[in-house]
């Protein structure tokens, strides 16, 4: 990621933060629509899960300016996800639901550069997590 992309991700995320809970509702609705098979991996009540996801995203987005600072936590998160039943092939699906959600939340702010920056950020994070948890990166789409 270029420093400009890091800035675009941070600035656009700041615009979604005030509606974090609605964004999380949109995200999981979208995820369960495009990948209904993962619904049973999650608890019936998603309240706490939504909060955890947005809190973690905030930490990651903030940490993009100093990637090494978040890698240990990202590695541990990836390892926990193996026990949740997450598979490498789920990561692009989650990424697609995330980018879709940001597009809805940002409206006009969802420019091509912002989209590219988020794709790079999610690609970096998910590639690292997959490598940590499964020992191999998933080929880029």
Q: Looking at residue 137, what DSSP letter applies? A: P
How far apart CA 134 and CA 78 sit, in angstroms, is: 9
Interface map 65-104 toward ligand HEM (x if CB under 6 A): ------------x--xx--x-x---xx--x----------
Q: CB burial class (10 A; 0-12, 13-18, 19+) of residue 9? A: buried
Interface map 31-60 toward ligand HEM (x if CB under 6 A): -------x--xxx-----x--xx--x----
Q: Does 130 bind ligand HEM (CB under 6 A)?
A: no
Closest approach of ligand HEM to the CB of residue 17, in Å: 15
Q: Which two tokens stand for residue 105?
A: 């939340």
Which distant-in-sequence residues (6+ apart) come within 8 Å of 136 by Cβ?
88, 130
Which distant-in-sequence residues (6+ apart) come within 8 Å of 25 by Cβ?
50
Interface size with ligand HEM, residues (CB under 6 A): 19
Binding site for ligand HEM (CB under 6 A): 38, 41-43, 49, 52-53, 56, 77, 80-81, 84, 86, 90-91, 94, 125-126, 129
């Amino acid at each position: 990621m270029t420093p400009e992309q890091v800035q675009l991700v941070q600035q656009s995320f700041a615009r979604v933060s005030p509606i974090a809970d609605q964004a999380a509702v949109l995200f999981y609705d979208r995820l369960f629509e495009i990948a209904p098979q993962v619904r049973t991996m999650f608890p019936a009540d998603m309240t706490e899960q939504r909060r955890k996801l947005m809190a973690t995203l905030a930490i990651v987005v903030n940490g993009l300016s100093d990637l090494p600072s978040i890698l240990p936590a990202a590695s541990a998160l990836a390892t926990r996800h193996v026990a949740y039943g997450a598979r490498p092939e789920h990561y692009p699906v989650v990424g697609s639901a995330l980018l879709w959600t940001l597009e809805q939340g940002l409206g006009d702010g969802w420019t091509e550069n912002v989209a590219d920056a988020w794709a790079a950020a999610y690609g970096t994070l998910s590639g690292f997590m997959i490598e940590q948890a499964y020992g191999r990166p998933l080929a880029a789409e």
